Amino acid sequence: MEILAFGVTADEEPLLERAFADRHEIRCLDVFLSEDTAPIAAGYEVVSSSVNADLGGRVLRILAAGGTKMIAQRSTGFNNIDLDEARRLGMTVSRVSSYSPYSVAEFAWTLAMAVNRRIVRASNRTRDFDFRLNGLMGRDMHGRTVGVLGTGRIGEAFTRIAHGFGMNLLGWDVARNEACLELGMKYVEKEELFASSDLISLHVPLLEATHHIVDAAALGLMRDDVILVNSSRGGLIDTDALVAELRAGRFTGVGLDVYEAEAGVFFTDKSLEAVEDDTLARLVTFPNVVVTSHQAYYTADAVGQIIEATVSNVADFLAGRRSENTLVPS
């Protein structure tokens, strides 16, 4: 059987081909799955999608009409998939429920330290042989307070690094993580976490209950010199409200690996085009903001695990099995 994979990066393609070798043929495309590209999948029983794919009802109906019976999404998040429509169409849908939590946790810390120590500004200066220190002063993390919003596997990994820095640990989640408690984490209401933290990192999934969990009210509770990091999902933050706070001169720094309107923008080259998203255009102009393109997961370890899980998901589908990765069974 030949599998069609959308949204495959140049780094990912040889890993996918090697993983499926001796099992199935795989055709890799660098274009993202959307209403315009879905007709390409005609005749493919199994389609693999990336995190920014459009798998709404219209796209699913196009795929089903072309003979697609299974969607194997290569990501943990699945808010881009109309699961109800997939059930109605009788399609199997799977995801990758977990992969290396260290990839995202370590990258979240990379963003935090980049904005804290002004790494991007310093690098840009030294390229012009400007070696002054003015405006580059950061602060120690040791002894300060970190607020971890979401203490699952990734939040726990982030917390362990914070513990290594010697920070005071605050956490918020619907369920407490015993490993975080053993590290000395104090669980508090999210309002107290927002108000009391020097560094806040988001590690909750994007659900109806967490959409814009960091809204204007939450931002208003935060300290003027807070560092805010989001490496989870863009929709957790009300970006317009964040821009308003940044324009008012608040916050030491903001590190964003995700953006709520990133679909169709992230993972693409827009350098020669006019920027249509005024909010994103304004966001990247702030000197205390670092925006990256949803790359926190992008390590050889994590991508390898994602691909291994995808191979297993396809095997489960063909064998009529279910697993923890199965969102919609056939």
Quickly list DSSP for 207-246. -TTTTTSB-HHHHHHS-TT-EEEE-S-GGGB-HHHHHHHH
Active site residue 25: no
Could you give the 3-state DSSP secondary structure of residue 107? Answer: helix
Count how many Cα atoms sit within 13 Å of the Cα of residue 174 in the half-sphere of its side chain. 5
What would the two tokens of residue 44 be? 């493919």
What span, in angstroms and rounded, lies between the C-alpha atoms of 111 and 105? 10
Candidates 233, 245, 250, 260; catalytic one: 233
**Neighbouring-strand partners of residue 171:** 148, 187
Alpha helix ranges (H) inside 238-284: 239-247, 278-283
User: How far is C-alpha 40 from the chain's CA centre?
Assistant: 27
Alpha-carbon span 300 to 91, nearest angstrom? 30
Pick the catalytic residue: 12, 156, 260, 262?
A: 262
Alpha helix (H) residue ranges in 66-100:
83-89
* Catalytic residue status for 85: no
For residue 218, CA distances in Å to 55, 145, 238 come to 31, 17, 10
Q: Can you tell me the distance from the alpha carbon of 170 to that of 149, in angstroms, rounded to the nearest whole number?
A: 9
Residue 203 annotated to the active site: no
15 and 307 in contact (C-beta within 8 Å)?
A: yes
- Cite the active site residues: 233, 262, 294
